[in-house]
Copies of this chain bind each other. A is one copy, B any other.
Amino acid sequence: MTNTKLQTLKQTERDSRRQIILDAALTLFAARDFRSVTVREIAKQAGISIGTIYNYYSNLTELFLDVFLNSAEEITQLLDQLSDQEPATLETLCELYIGYLNDNMTFYQMMSHFMLGGDLTPDATQKLDTQMKALMNRMETALIGAGLGKNTRMTAHALFSALNGIMISYARYPGKTDADIRRHTLRLAKMIAGIFKSNIS
């Protein structure tokens, strides 16, 4: 038993160290494009050595992927909390998602990076796919809650696409402040929710 406890402790410690690395990475990503962040910088920010990072991740891509997966899990949970008591309206769901993207551009950049280009191992691809499906499920649930009766999966795909597309189209709107972009993308989110909604009934 002691052994188990020890192992649990060790695992906990290992997890918390992992979290420290993730937090350090996120801090850096908040300020700069994640592709330009180096292992050395992450190590420094985390207050540990480069070697230690490789003790937790076999390479940088895995670390990046972990950041992404954690973020995906977070937004998934936020969506879950939203519909904890009663089904979320399409509108609040769309706004929540776009709000999250505004606050976490790195999440969106990584989604774009991994979905379009990154050379992922089969294992990594699998993890990625799982999280994406989880997100999609929430979309589908919300659509069903809004009364959609058929083509629910396909429509969820479409909705997910529509929301994701918002950021790629407006993130770099020239001459706009972050606040401008947030306002504009949230308006688009609401509009898209409305369009999908009106299509249901």
B-binding residues in A (CB < 8 A): 33, 35, 105, 108-109, 111-112, 114-117, 125-126, 128-129, 132, 151, 154-155, 157-158, 160-174, 187-188, 191-192, 194-196, 198-199
Give the distance in Å from the alpha carbon of A70 to the alpha carbon of B108 in the complex.
26
With A160-B165, A161-B166 as contacts: A188 and B112 at CB distance below 8 Å: no
- Nearest 3 Cβ contacts at the A-B interface: A165-B165, A162-B162, A161-B165
With A35-B117, A162-B158, A168-B112 as contacts: A199 and B195 at CB distance below 8 Å: yes
Q: Are A169 and B115 in contact (CB under 8 A)?
A: yes
16 A–B contacts from the bound complex (CB under 8 Å): A33-B116, A33-B117, A108-B116, A112-B112, A114-B172, A115-B168, A126-B174, A128-B172, A129-B173, A157-B170, A158-B166, A161-B166, A161-B192, A163-B165, A164-B168, A198-B198
- Closest B residue by C-beta to A117: B33
- Closest B residue by C-beta to A194: B199
Number of copies of this chain in the oligomer?
4
Q: Are B116 and A172 in contact (CB under 8 A)?
A: yes
CB distance from A115 to the nearest CB of B (A): 5
Give the distance in Å from the alpha carbon of A132 to the alpha carbon of B169 in the complex.
8
With A164-B168, A174-B125 as contacts: A188 and B117 at CB distance below 8 Å: no
- Complex interface: chain B residues within 8 A of A170 (CB): 157, 161
Q: Are B162 and A192 in contact (CB under 8 A)?
A: yes
Q: Are B116 and A171 in contact (CB under 8 A)?
A: yes
CB distance from A186 to the nearest CB of B (A): 12
Give the distance in Å from the alpha carbon of A191 to the alpha carbon of B109 in the complex.
26
- Complex interface: chain B residues within 8 A of A168 (CB): 111-112, 115-116, 161, 164-165, 168
